[in-house]
Structure 1
Amino acid sequence: MPLSVETPHHLKPDWWLRVRHSIAVSRHEPANVIAFILAVCFAYLILAPVISILLDAIFVHSGDAGRTHQDEGAFTLYYLTRAFMSRMSQIILWTPLYNTLAIALGTVACSLTLGVTLAWLINRTNMAGRRWFASALIVPFMLPSWTFAMAWTTIFKNRTIGGQPGWLEALGFHTPNWLAYGFFPIVVILILHYTPLVILIVGNALTRLDVQMEDCARILGAPRRTIAFSIILPLVRPALMSAALLIFADCIGEFAVPYILGLPVNYDTLSTGLYRSLDSRQNGVAAVLAAVIMIIGVITLLIDMHMMREARRFVTVGGKGNMDRQTSLGKFRVIAASIPMAFMLIAMVIPLITLFLSTIMTLPGRFTLSNFTFDYWIGHHLTTVALRNGILFTPEFWQATWNTIFIVGIASLCSGILGLLVGYAVTRCSFRGVSGFLRHITFMPYLVPGIAFAAAFLSLFAVARGPIPALYGTPILLIIALIAEKMPFASRSGIAAMTQLGKEPEEAARIAGASWFTRMRKIIVPIQAGPLATGILLPFISGIKGVSLFIILAVPSTDVLTTYSLRLLDYNYDQAANAVVFMIALIAWFGTLLIQRISGTHLAQGLES
């Protein structure tokens, strides 16, 4: 029998030596184990739902065997054909797709035009009150987009869908359908919501712009038009493209505003069409629509990521003292302030005042003292059939509030902790492939619009699969879906924080004999308390005002404030629905301010990274 001879160490292949070294390191470095565990968990929570919804588009669903003439679970092109090439495809896909693209493109064009104008006034002129406007103009972006939709219906609603009329109708002014519902109001509201995003992104680019190039051009006699289009525009082009693509991607998956303002006149978008398909149990068609939304979102945001890499080429170097030069408006500096002031009135003051006044009116549009009441807040024995008391004395409101705090709170806490662990694993893991996969998989939900991500979760967890029971209708499904959806915020915060923290403090503690849990508890967490708080609070505020995820996955027993308000709206209890929306808006507003105070950063700084 031949003797086994071990291959000399120096003759072994490099990959084997790297594996042995990594295994030896992992005995003392738990980051490798943590990275593997997190990679497996997020592959199941993020990648598996997306794959599941895509497979739903090509396999026969329960109840469709007779329609497809195939067995349940068999491969089929029926749903793709029905969505793309059947007699119903115009209603199912092409018209909603056209409406969605029209809304997105209209919103992008108008938001950029208005946002660039306001950003220039704030950052490059001596307009009166510009520092105050720099903070105040961001508030509409902190509020839920459908806050404006509810205010719009309060003012412009007509008798097309019955129920209480809008204020103008009550005052004797007939509002046509094009003004009350459909394309025009949806685009106007999304413009009001997304213009602050343009102000933030383009304003940051204008602030960093070195004005020495402009000075050189002026000295050489270049007119203002040439300076604007040949120097300034190319340098801020990456910021403009980034803002345009982010707004476009968000509009593709926007649900709440088209739901409130589009459905009354059957103005469907991809997101509302997806919701209708799920509501009518056409899961195969819903899967196709979800896949279309995901593909558009992924393509758009991949282009944005490419543009952000390209932006590194547009770097100007100059003295810091030249960065704050402003254009003097002279006697027009006060007149110029009327533009952002008008935007503030339209985008924040009027909607919030409208919402509040609508909650204390018995009859819409009647501004007499006898018509004002707090019954919809604190009243008893109301005449409405299903709402007998004001919302503050309605058990369903407090149940929805508790569900919101519990579900969003648990999900946000888990997201913050997991985000910090992801940052730890990505920066400490010795397996580059695993750390790279973890970095990208936790960012993936950002590429998938919320309505499609919710449909993907419903596809995976609606039925039992192996040891995992059916979770639909339980708070657990909402919690894990919210964790997965908010991981881009939490993981990005954790990775950025851990990248700035060297290994020396932890290494010193390890040499001193401290266990990994001790090092995390006494070194990592205290040092990273700020990013951890941001990683918890940001998903919490985002989850408080979220609609797309909950409208698909929540049932009456797991109602949160957003779905509860929409159910009240469906019952035409407009005052109570607006009261709930007003509460959500205040929570989102003050919560965002709390994030900025705790983290010590402005919202604009968060968008720069």
Structure 2
Amino acid sequence: MSAAADRGVPSARPGLWQRLRYRVRIALREPTTLIGILAALLFAYLIIVPILSLLVDAGRVQFGDERRIGTEPGAWTFYYISRALFSPVAGNLFWAPLVNTLSVAFGAIGISLAIGGPLAWLVSRTDMFARRWFATALIVPFMLPAWTFALAWTTLFKNRSVGGQLGWFEALGLTPPDWLAYGQVPITIILALNYIPFFILLFGNALRRFDSQLEDSARMLGARSSTVALKIIGPMMLPALMSAIILAFAKCIGEFGVPYVLGLPVNYDLLATGLYRSISSRQTGVAAVLAAAIMLIGIVSLLIDARLVREARKFVTVGNKGAMARQSALGPLRIPATAFAALIFLISVGLPLLTLTLSTVMRVPANFALSNFTLDYWIGTNLETVALRTGILLSPALWSAAFNTLTIVGTASICSGLLGLLVGYVVVRTPLRPLAVFLRQVTFLPYLVPGIAFAAAYLSLFAVQRGPIPALYGTAAILMLALVADQMPYASRAGISAMMQLGKDPEEAAQVSGAGWFRRMVSIVVPIQKGALVTGILLPFISGIKGLSLFVILAVPATDVLTTYSLRLVDYNYTQAANAVVLIIAAIAYFGTLLAQKLTKTNLADGLGS
């Protein structure tokens, strides 16, 4: 017996246990904590379990491979890792796609930085003509699916080496070489044009916050322009610039649509298309290894970005708003600068969209005679094509895909928005801080995983029945669940941000009046936070409408959405119809983004922040 017990002094250990029990009872008195626990279990199953299932698939014998490996299905093995990384075919399976991915990523980032950096400075800190208009116009590629521009490229430059219709240049008698029509060069250029808005938004936002008085002070002390740029502006802008580079790199790692359209016809694989090939050929174990590699690269990239964001907070300047917003006079360079911005807009937005639009109303490519123009590919009947006998607007397959899109994406977006607001409420209100931290982190995890790898994880988990959960592959349910989980980073951050701005006073007053938790949510929290709820629904909806990586792995013909339907038309070489569907998707995504900005009273052109 201890000395404390001999003296009649209560032990400290029971006191700690009693305090813990008291806190648990207090926490469970309100349903907030219970709902938070249920939400934590739900997101653990929808986010963590699929990723773990995918990683397990890389180390266990898959059904159908037992004879080749010599062990029973489900047994642990290093066969798939060895095959993907060290076997004679490892070069084709992993190393060549990895090298291609890195070369495309670094090339695209280099080009987009060289163009986007100067444009960010022009629209943020100069008196360039139509500066505000260009600030919005130049980020239009950010609002549209990246493979929209890939289809425009192949419409212009493709040659007959892979069959199908003539490209415009070939129709005019100029046959583009294979290296220009397909493969690394076009993929790099298209991705570079698509990533320019990253630098305009992130780097431009940092430039807008930079205090010009620092430059003035340095020049008053005799510093040269080169010294000011290298010693003052450079270090201050470096975190934002590196953040834009890393985000573009992480996005490139999981990009599927562009390399599918421009690389697959000539067997130029990136990691994303290599993963797609492995799944299509039922090499599940190798696909798991590739998906894990994509996931690891994406996670490491975005963790580095998070570290840079924390470092950027050390570089804080305090100045008045007028000094920060002061513009530099371009003088005689004003017209050339405006012409440069106009040229980039024409190349990255105007020409691709014009090409796609014209291609849908031409019978013969690049023939601009009036007799060649037609609306048959939109509203025609009795067309000569085998699998598409009517114009796209009269095709039942289009309206079926549109219905699936609105049903699947719409339902998933509403669920994401509601769950995001609920997560925000629990994170801010629950007294159990570990629960709040877990919910905050687990709902952000899909942001670290490229979409193609996340889709592979869901295929790994739901392709077969597991316990009471039936096999969901081939159903709309798996698409909805994957979309809900994939969009939770946006929905949960909108909910958390909104709830942090809502004090407890309105709820406490209602609670004193006898209102229960559900009544307080419906009558107080949701009406006050309707803006955040709309944001949490609309942003996932726009992202889901133009998304391809999730759907291309998980959708089947019965659950075709607009993006997968357009991709099937590409596979059939129905160029006009495919381009028409892509224009519909682009219009929905663009005007949906404008609607989101209007409803939330924000402007994407003002920057994404840090």
Alignment TM class, shorter chain as reference: over 0.9
2:3 aligns to what?
A: none
2:260 aligns to what?
A: 259
2:526 aligns to what?
A: 525
Query: Quick check: 1:129 aligned with 2:134?
Result: no
Provide the rounded CA distance (Å) in 2 between the counterparts of 1:448 and 1:37: 23
Q: Which amino acid aligns with 1:37?
A: L
Alignment of 1:504-519 (within 5 A): 504-519=505-520
- CA deviations 1:145-169 (Å, max 9, x no partner) are 0000000000001011101010000
Provide the rounded CA distance (Å) in 2 between the counterparts of 1:436 and 1:16: 23
Query: Quick check: 1:550 aligned with 2:545?
Result: no
TM-score by length of 1: 0.97
Alpha-carbon shift at residue 494 of structure 1 (Å)? 0.5
Residues 291 and 27 (structure 1 numbering): CA distance in 2 closer, same or farther, change over 3 Å? closer
Alignment of 1:409-558 (within 5 A): 409-558=410-559
Alpha-carbon shift at residue 18 of structure 1 (Å)? 4.1
Residues 353 and 8 (structure 1 numbering): CA distance in 2 closer, same or farther, change over 3 Å? farther
Q: Which amino acid aligns with 2:313?
A: R
1:110 aligns to what?
A: 111
Q: Would you say the 8 A contact 1:160–1:264 is kept in 2?
A: no
- Aligned positions, number: 603
Alpha-carbon shift at residue 379 of structure 1 (Å)? 0.4
Provide the rounded CA distance (Å) in 2 between the counterparts of 1:500 and 1:271: 40
Alignment of 1:527-606 (within 5 A): 527-604=528-605
1:238 aligns to what?
A: 239
Provide the rounded CA distance (Å) in 2 between the counterparts of 1:151 and 1:342: 17
1:375 aligns to what?
A: 376
Alignment of 1:295-314 (within 5 A): 295-314=296-315
1:63 aligns to what?
A: 64
Q: Would you say the 8 A contact 2:361–2:376 is kept in 1?
A: yes
Q: Would you say the 8 A contact 2:205–2:607 is kept in 1?
A: no
1:401 aligns to what?
A: 402
Alignment of 1:260-339 (within 5 A): 260-339=261-340
Residues 331 and 522 (structure 1 numbering): CA distance in 2 closer, same or farther, change over 3 Å? same
- CA deviations 1:375-412 (Å, max 9, x no partner) are 01100000000000011111111000000000000000
Q: SS in structure 2 opposite 1:607? A: coil
Alpha-carbon shift at residue 19 of structure 1 (Å)? 2.5
Q: Would you say the 8 A contact 2:139–2:605 is kept in 1?
A: no
Provide the rounded CA distance (Å) in 1 between the counterparts of 2:380 and 2:479: 32
Provide the rounded CA distance (Å) in 2 between the counterparts of 1:441 and 1:250: 20
Provide the rounded CA distance (Å) in 2 between the counterparts of 1:16 and 1:131: 62
Farther off after superposition, 141-150 or 29-38: 29-38
Provide the rounded CA distance (Å) in 1 between the counterparts of 2:9 and 2:284: 60
Alpha-carbon shift at residue 20 of structure 1 (Å)? 2.3
Provide the rounded CA distance (Å) in 1 between the counterparts of 2:599 and 2:14: 51
Farther off after superposition, 343-352 or 321-330: 321-330
Provide the rounded CA distance (Å) in 2 between the counterparts of 1:507 and 1:298: 41
Alpha-carbon shift at residue 26 of structure 1 (Å)? 2.7
Alpha-carbon shift at residue 444 of structure 1 (Å)? 0.3
Residues 414 and 14 (structure 1 numbering): CA distance in 2 closer, same or farther, change over 3 Å? farther
TM-score by length of 2: 0.97
Query: Quick check: 1:342 aligned with 2:343?
Result: yes
Q: Which amino acid aligns with 2:38?
A: I
Provide the rounded CA distance (Å) in 1 between the counterparts of 2:443 and 2:608: 18
Q: SS in structure 2 opposite 1:71? A: coil
Q: Would you say the 8 A contact 2:204–2:607 is kept in 1?
A: no
1:139 aligns to what?
A: 140
2:90 aligns to what?
A: 89
Q: Would you say the 8 A contact 1:419–1:535 is kept in 2?
A: yes
Q: Which amino acid aligns with 1:30?
A: P
Alpha-carbon shift at residue 9 of structure 1 (Å)? 8.4
Farther off after superposition, 268-277 or 136-145: 136-145
Query: Quick check: 1:359 aligned with 2:349?
Result: no
Q: Would you say the 8 A contact 1:380–1:390 is kept in 2?
A: yes
Provide the rounded CA distance (Å) in 1 between the counterparts of 2:410 and 2:572: 29
Q: SS in structure 1 opposite 2:249? A: helix
Q: Would you say the 8 A contact 2:124–2:208 is kept in 1?
A: yes
2:5 aligns to what?
A: none
2:388 aligns to what?
A: 387
Q: Which amino acid aligns with 2:66?
A: A
1:159 aligns to what?
A: 160
Alpha-carbon shift at residue 113 of structure 1 (Å)? 1.8
Q: SS in structure 2 opposite 1:271? A: helix
Q: Which amino acid aligns with 1:59?
A: R
Q: Would you say the 8 A contact 1:201–1:604 is kept in 2?
A: no
Provide the rounded CA distance (Å) in 2 between the counterparts of 1:19 and 1:479: 39
Q: SS in structure 2 opposite 1:287? A: helix
Q: Which amino acid aligns with 1:193?
A: N
Q: Would you say the 8 A contact 1:463–1:471 is kept in 2?
A: yes
1:19 aligns to what?
A: 20
- CA deviations 1:209-248 (Å, max 9, x no partner) are 0111101111111111111111001001110011011000
Q: SS in structure 2 opposite 1:323? A: helix
Residues 27 and 559 (structure 1 numbering): CA distance in 2 closer, same or farther, change over 3 Å? same
Provide the rounded CA distance (Å) in 2 between the counterparts of 1:447 and 1:604: 25
Aligned identity (percent) is: 61
Q: Which amino acid aligns with 1:431?
A: L
Residues 605 and 438 (structure 1 numbering): CA distance in 2 closer, same or farther, change over 3 Å? farther
Provide the rounded CA distance (Å) in 1 between the counterparts of 2:88 and 2:9: 71
Where do 5+ consecutive residues of structure 2 fail to align?
1-7
Alpha-carbon shift at residue 511 of structure 1 (Å)? 1.2
Query: Quick check: 1:178 aligned with 2:179?
Result: yes
Provide the rounded CA distance (Å) in 1 between the counterparts of 2:41 and 2:369: 62
- CA deviations 1:443-475 (Å, max 9, x no partner) are 000000000000000000000000000000000
Alpha-carbon shift at residue 259 of structure 1 (Å)? 0.3
Q: Would you say the 8 A contact 1:255–1:547 is kept in 2?
A: yes
Alpha-carbon shift at residue 272 of structure 1 (Å)? 0.2
Runs of 4+ in 1 over 6 A off after TM superposition: 7-10
1:4 aligns to what?
A: none
Provide the rounded CA distance (Å) in 2 between the counterparts of 1:455 and 1:67: 23
Alpha-carbon shift at residue 430 of structure 1 (Å)? 1.3
Q: Which amino acid aligns with 2:500?
A: T
Q: Which amino acid aligns with 1:593?
A: L
Provide the rounded CA distance (Å) in 2 between the counterparts of 1:59 and 1:233: 50
Q: Which amino acid aligns with 1:227?
A: V
Provide the rounded CA distance (Å) in 2 between the counterparts of 1:9 and 1:481: 53
Farther off after superposition, 240-249 or 501-510: 501-510
